[in-house]
Amino acid sequence: MGVKGRAAFAIVFIIVFLCSLWLYGGLEPWGYCLKVYIQDEQSLSLYGNNVSEDDMVQLGFCPGQRFQVGVLLMHLQAAPLSTDDVLLEPYLASWDELIKFMDSLGPLVGFISQEIEAKTSIIRDLAQKEATAEEQVSGTSILKDEPTHPSAGVMGRAYTSVRSMIKAELAQGLVDFTQPQASGCRTLLRLHRALLWLQLFLHSLAEDGRAQSPSELCRDAYRVTLAQHHTWWVRKAAELAFVAMPDRAFFYRLVCVDTQEEAAVVLNHVVRAIQKVYNQTQMALEEHGMLELP
């Protein structure tokens, strides 16, 4: 391998290595189915009656691909609880679909999704441990009790929602405001920051038309969100990864539309749903001084 070949290999290795540390702030602090219709009772049964009539918008199924924008929207719409809380089960399910979205963008961008998946797993593991502990104390399955919401039986009571998790982890001394400490709250903050990045990116795809490429839009969204919490090396690695992002036509196919106008309709539904989830999570974290957890 020549000098240029070795240099190219080294650059790729550095990008992959730094992207693997993507979500750790500092390196610690990722026209077939355009039809829009009202969800029926069966569509809503997954999360009970949490979704209001105003939010009952669902997008059709896109054949032949893992990422389904309609499934993403369903989970996002189910996540807000009352006006100031977010259910964790549909929140994490939304991330499951967003991970598929990022995976579809190519290996460099998709590699980031592995870190996000690791973070959703942290919260799910904590929830499972808490649920198991509850069963051991009570001697019965929590599924036989009367949970405050259908998802409580899956996540455990303390991890039913963002606010219940915050309350429980503060009471147990699991949140350290001075140094890094593994907790659901700290992990949620990293996901919260990444969600804002994706929200701004999708909003730009919907509104920008063809003035800028998806690569440029993603880079710009990153610079005003996650980049604020990353080191210089991570920022440069991220921006290099965005260069390999697919063109706009690829995103049309991804959400099963043919034109920018159709894409705007679909993406704006998703952006509004993300905005509601983001705002209510932001409110809960801010009230407890958790927006800058180390």
- Per residue in 157-189, pLDDT tens? 899 999 999 999 999 999 999 999 999 999 999
Determine the average pLDDT of the residues in 43-72.
70
Kindly tell me if the per-residue pLDDT of 149 is higher than 50.
Answer: no
How many Å apart are CA 270 and CA 70, to the nearest integer?
A: 9
Within a domain: residue 153? yes
Residue 151 vs residue 84, higher pLDDT: 84
How many Å apart are CA 196 and CA 200, to the nearest integer?
A: 6
- The pLDDT of residue 26: 42
Beta strands in the chain (DSSP E): 36-38, 57-59, 80-81, 85-86
Residue 33 vs residue 278, higher pLDDT: 278
Condensed to tens digits (0 to 9), the pLDDT of residues 205-239 reads 999 877 899 999 999 999 999 999 989 998 888 88
- Bridge partner list, 86: 80
Q: Are 109 and 242 in contact (CB under 8 A)?
A: yes
Q: How far is CA 245 from CA 233, 242, 253, in A?
A: 19, 5, 14
Kindly tell me if the per-residue pLDDT of 45 is higher than 50.
Answer: no
Within a domain: residue 83? yes
How many Å apart are CA 172 and CA 146, to the nearest integer?
A: 23
Within a domain: residue 293? no
Kindly tell me if the per-residue pLDDT of 48 is higher than 70.
Answer: no
- The pLDDT of residue 50: 63
State the DSSP string of 144-159. GS--SSTTHHHH-GGG
Within a domain: residue 71? yes
Q: Are 233 and 16 in contact (CB under 8 A)?
A: no
CATH code of the domain covering residue 79: 1.10.3520.10
* Chain position carrying tokens 């460099």: 108
The angle, 0 to 180 degrees and rounded to 10, between the axes of the packed helices 232-243 and 3-19 is: 110
Of the listed ranges 30-39, 53-62, 186-195, 211-220, the one predicted with least confidence = 30-39
Tell me which residue of 14, 67, 27 sits closest to 241, measured CA to CA.
14
Residue 256 vs residue 237, higher pLDDT: 256
Residue 138 vs residue 262, higher pLDDT: 262
Kindly tell me if the per-residue pLDDT of 287 is higher than 90.
Answer: yes
* Chain position carrying tokens 């730094």: 18
Kindly tell me if the per-residue pLDDT of 32 is higher than 50.
Answer: no
Determine the average pLDDT of the residues in 51-78.
82
How many structural domains is the chain composed of? 1
Residue 58 vs residue 27, higher pLDDT: 58
User: Confidence class of residue 139 from pLDDT cuts 50, 70 and 90?
Assistant: low
Question: What's the pTM?
Answer: 0.80
Structure tokens at 99: 């991970």
Within a domain: residue 292? no
Q: How many residues are recorded in the chain?
A: 294
Helix (H, G, I), strand (E, B), or coil: what is residue 19? helix
**Domain ranges, residue 235:** 3-287
Within a domain: residue 37? yes
**Taking the CB of residue 32, how many other CB atoms lie within 10 A of it?**
14
Residue 50 vs residue 121, higher pLDDT: 121
Of the listed ranges 76-85, 206-215, 273-282, the one predicted with least confidence = 206-215
Residue 265 vs residue 109, higher pLDDT: 265
Mean of all residue pLDDT scores within the chain: 81
- The pLDDT of residue 44: 37
Within a domain: residue 255? yes
Within a domain: residue 33? yes
**Taking the CB of residue 291, how many other CB atoms lie within 10 A of it?**
12
